[in-house]
Chains A and B, each alone.
Chain A
């Protein structure tokens, strides 16, 4: 009897097809034991068995109704179909039968109250930090400009000021010729410094503070005098390779 009840429960939990249970055979088993019931427990077991069986019959009836509806497809076949289809195919099938609900979300009294409660009940930063076991807390300190400059957080001089200084230096080196050879101006003893000067020169040319004149193999820089206008800047880009080998070869 217990086994019968268990089987009925499994069917109810969709583990088995309801038609797997032979109802007349189940009834026959219940009837066979009916004469031997003596205690209340026995009768309760009998009642449980009959109720379970009735639920299975209900499921069989629902199954038949479902099979006659347009929604019926055998679960085994559905699994097989799902297995044989690609994700894209499955997604497309869903899209063909999907009509998403349109909804607009906005602040409501309830959600605002919930947010306010959350904020008010939230522990302080220091309390929450304790839970993370992050060790002793270091109080924020202060730092002066020279220190920040040393750490390269701040520039010693403003960028435009450095550009202007470089232009004046270029003008000085150009002298009466009014032009200076590119590599002789850019190159320094240190490679990093050379790259930095080349970068600054590219800004001078882009901003119209100098002109890059190419003559065959050589390149010349011509400093300009203010006022500078952005339209005077070079509209063209000219890539210049700067590697240690290039710098060394230009020095010869």
Chain B
């Protein structure tokens, strides 16, 4: 038991290095890389790392091989998955600014992903651009589609259809997104509800909401 305690921290550190540092186009590490770097018990090491990362609001996420575009079988022909370290919780709108994505980009990505999911994972690029164009303008929709393709949120297949990319599988909780979209109400209805809630919760909460809204407006205005 004592030996095991001294044995794991070194491997956990090595696992962290393998997962955090980007070595190629896609971050994270393949299962065979982890196996050769950490040994056969790499899954236990990853569980240990996941436990350590909890305090930092991070987690180890496994993405299955069949949904990875860069899938290659391991050296021994075994099935391969890719492991990433990602945020366990979610970001507030204010924190989201740190990621470099603007409100427009996030809105367009939400529209894009929800439409693709509703069409069972594939959609025509033109249709996506039309839907995004309603929110962010036609030209911006064109450039954003390219940006999403480059960053791995989307992928284009041989027939020119757009599907979900590796980054979407790694970062997005699609079930939550679709549930939120399905349950959402148009802005007018939300504002009515919010004003009622504001009256009930007092001026402090209302002030915070106004501040958050202003922040968003700022971010949107820098878009031009």
Query: Hey, which bits of chain A sit against chain B, CB under 8 A?
Result: 13-15, 62-63, 66, 70-75, 77-79, 81-106, 108, 110
CB pair A101 B93 closer than 8 Å: no
CB pair A97 B184 closer than 8 Å: no
A104 partner residues in chain B, CB cutoff 8 A? 20-22
* B147 in the interface (beta carbon within 8 A): no
CB pair B179 A98 closer than 8 Å: no
What is the CB-to-nearest-CB distance from A65 to chain B, in angstroms, rounded to a whole number?
Answer: 9
B68 partner residues in chain A, CB cutoff 8 A? none
CB pair B106 A95 closer than 8 Å: yes
CB pair A84 B134 closer than 8 Å: no
CB pair A98 B172 closer than 8 Å: yes
A108 partner residues in chain B, CB cutoff 8 A? 23
* B198 in the interface (beta carbon within 8 A): no
Which residue of chain A has its CB nearest to the CB of B27?
A103
CB pair B27 A96 closer than 8 Å: no
CB pair A93 B110 closer than 8 Å: yes
Query: Which of B103, B131, B178, B213 is the one whose CB lies under 8 Å from A87?
Result: B103
* B88 in the interface (beta carbon within 8 A): yes
B67 partner residues in chain A, CB cutoff 8 A? none
* B199 in the interface (beta carbon within 8 A): no
CB pair B184 A79 closer than 8 Å: no
CB pair B177 A100 closer than 8 Å: no
What is the CB-to-nearest-CB distance from B217 to chain A, in angstroms, rounded to a whole number?
Answer: 8
CB pair B85 A101 closer than 8 Å: yes
What is the CB-to-nearest-CB distance from A116 to chain B, in angstroms, rounded to a whole number?
Answer: 18
CB pair A100 B87 closer than 8 Å: yes
Binds A, one of B33-41, B43-51, B69-77, B119-127: B119-127
CB pair A97 B106 closer than 8 Å: no
Report the Cα distance A88→B219, complex, angstroms: 10
CB pair B120 A94 closer than 8 Å: no
* B197 in the interface (beta carbon within 8 A): no
CB pair A94 B135 closer than 8 Å: no
**Can you name 8 extra interface pairs (CB under 8 A) apart from A71-B175, A91-B216?**
A75-B115, A83-B134, A85-B187, A88-B93, A92-B93, A99-B171, A101-B28, A106-B21
Query: Which of A15, A66, A89 is the one whose CB lies under 8 Å from B187?
Result: A89
11 residue pairs A–B, Cβ–Cβ below 8 Å: A70-B178, A73-B182, A75-B119, A77-B182, A78-B118, A89-B184, A96-B177, A98-B91, A99-B86, A100-B171, A103-B27
